[in-house]
Amino acid sequence: MQISESSGLRCSVADTQLLSSDIYRIKLTAESDCFPGYYPGQYLVVHLQNNENNCFSIASAPQKNQQHLELHIQQLKGSPNSQQLFREIKEGVLNVSLPAGNCHLPDSIDKQQPLLFIAAGTGFSQMKSMIEYCLRHRHHGEMHLYWGARTPADFYLPNLPVQWSGQGVHYHPVVSETYHEDDWCGRHGLLYEAILVDREKLLDCQTYISGSPQMVYATYDAMIGDGFPEKNLHSDVFDYAPRK
């Protein structure tokens, strides 16, 4: 796959769908012929009219001559920046640049390599791009998805990873809080706690982590402390929020 340097373009908002109380699926259409090529797991930058920039993982798996992209965006009620973003979404046009990000599947991935995807909240969008790419290209190595949410209602596309399970992806949803035990019979706690419990089957995986810097570093520290190879752990947080 040939990936060019990040380039800017104007795109139309083709569809806006509310997936949960505050998370939207935004579908963009390139006003030029197609979007630039990108690796599965990369993100784009939205350039707002107030000169602020917002970064969002591309939820779509890359394909040739791509004319549509999907984003998962949480609307933050108390954020002027988020309010500006959704005003421009409502107006129907966004200026973006892509591709960006170093946390992505490599150009020539070993199809036998086991993969571990760890996502909190809308970090799921980055994992969606990589998983769908692997399924499309018949990846043979085991794939595990650990998706963490505060409550069961926060899994904003609950059926999609269940569908992936039928294609060989091992899906592990983890809820950190629950108010009614009868509403959830799955795993409770922090994401890294579930991963450490399953350590033996995950040690050899190339691992991709997406979430807040606090979540990513807590997961990283726990995994390194339990013997996971540092060279196998990847996250965009390591670039945009490096620790001293």
CATH number at residue 206: 3.40.50.80
Q: Which residues contact 82 (CB under 8 A, 6 or more apart)?
A: 74, 75, 76
Q: What's the pLDDT band for 6 if we cut at 50, 70, 90?
A: low
Evaluated on CA atoms 16, 19, 22, 26, the torsion sign reads negative
Q: What is the pLDDT of residues 105-125, one digit of tens each?
A: 998 889 999 999 999 999 999
Q: What's the pLDDT band for 1 if we cut at 50, 70, 90?
A: very low
Q: What is the pLDDT of residues 70-80, one digit of tens each?
A: 999 999 999 99
pLDDT greater than 60 at residue 207: yes
Average pLDDT over residues 22-40: 94
| Residues 136 and 221 reside in one and the same domain | yes
| Residues 121 and 147 reside in one and the same domain | yes
Of 100, 134, 151, the residue that ends a domain is 100
Residue at 227 is within a domain: yes
Q: What is the pLDDT of residues 121-168, one digit of tens each?
A: 999 999 999 999 999 999 999 999 999 999 999 999 999 999 999 999
pLDDT greater than 60 at residue 2: no
Query: Looking at residue 206, what is its pLDDT?
Result: 98
Average pLDDT over residues 34-38: 94
Residue at 142 is within a domain: yes
| Residues 230 and 145 reside in one and the same domain | yes
| Residues 58 and 23 reside in one and the same domain | yes
Of 50, 68, 100, the residue that ends a domain is 100
Q: What's the pLDDT band for 179 if we cut at 50, 70, 90?
A: low
Cα dist from 93 to 16, 27, 87, 99, 199, whole Å: 12, 11, 10, 19, 45
CATH code of the domain covering residue 94: 2.40.30.10
Domain enclosing residue 13, as ranges? 7-100
pLDDT greater than 80 at residue 183: no
- CA 223-224-226 angle, to 5 degrees, is 65
| Residues 121 and 93 reside in one and the same domain | no
| Residues 85 and 147 reside in one and the same domain | no
Q: What's the pLDDT band for 178 if we cut at 50, 70, 90?
A: low
pLDDT greater than 70 at residue 181: no
Number of domains in the chain: 2
Residue at 1 is within a domain: no
Q: What is the pLDDT of residues 78-91, one digit of tens each?
A: 999 999 999 999 99
Percent of the chain with pLDDT over 70: 95
| Residues 119 and 82 reside in one and the same domain | no
Token code pair at residue 192: 């890294």
| Residues 149 and 235 reside in one and the same domain | yes
Token code pair at residue 12: 């139309």
Average pLDDT over residues 165-185: 85
Residue at 221 is within a domain: yes
Cα dist from 162 to 3, 151, 165, whole Å: 32, 17, 5
| Residues 187 and 157 reside in one and the same domain | yes
Q: Which residues pair with residue 8 across a beta bridge?
A: 97
| Residues 121 and 144 reside in one and the same domain | yes
Of 45, 77, 100, the residue that ends a domain is 100
| Residues 236 and 153 reside in one and the same domain | yes
pLDDT greater than 80 at residue 4: no
| Residues 131 and 216 reside in one and the same domain | yes
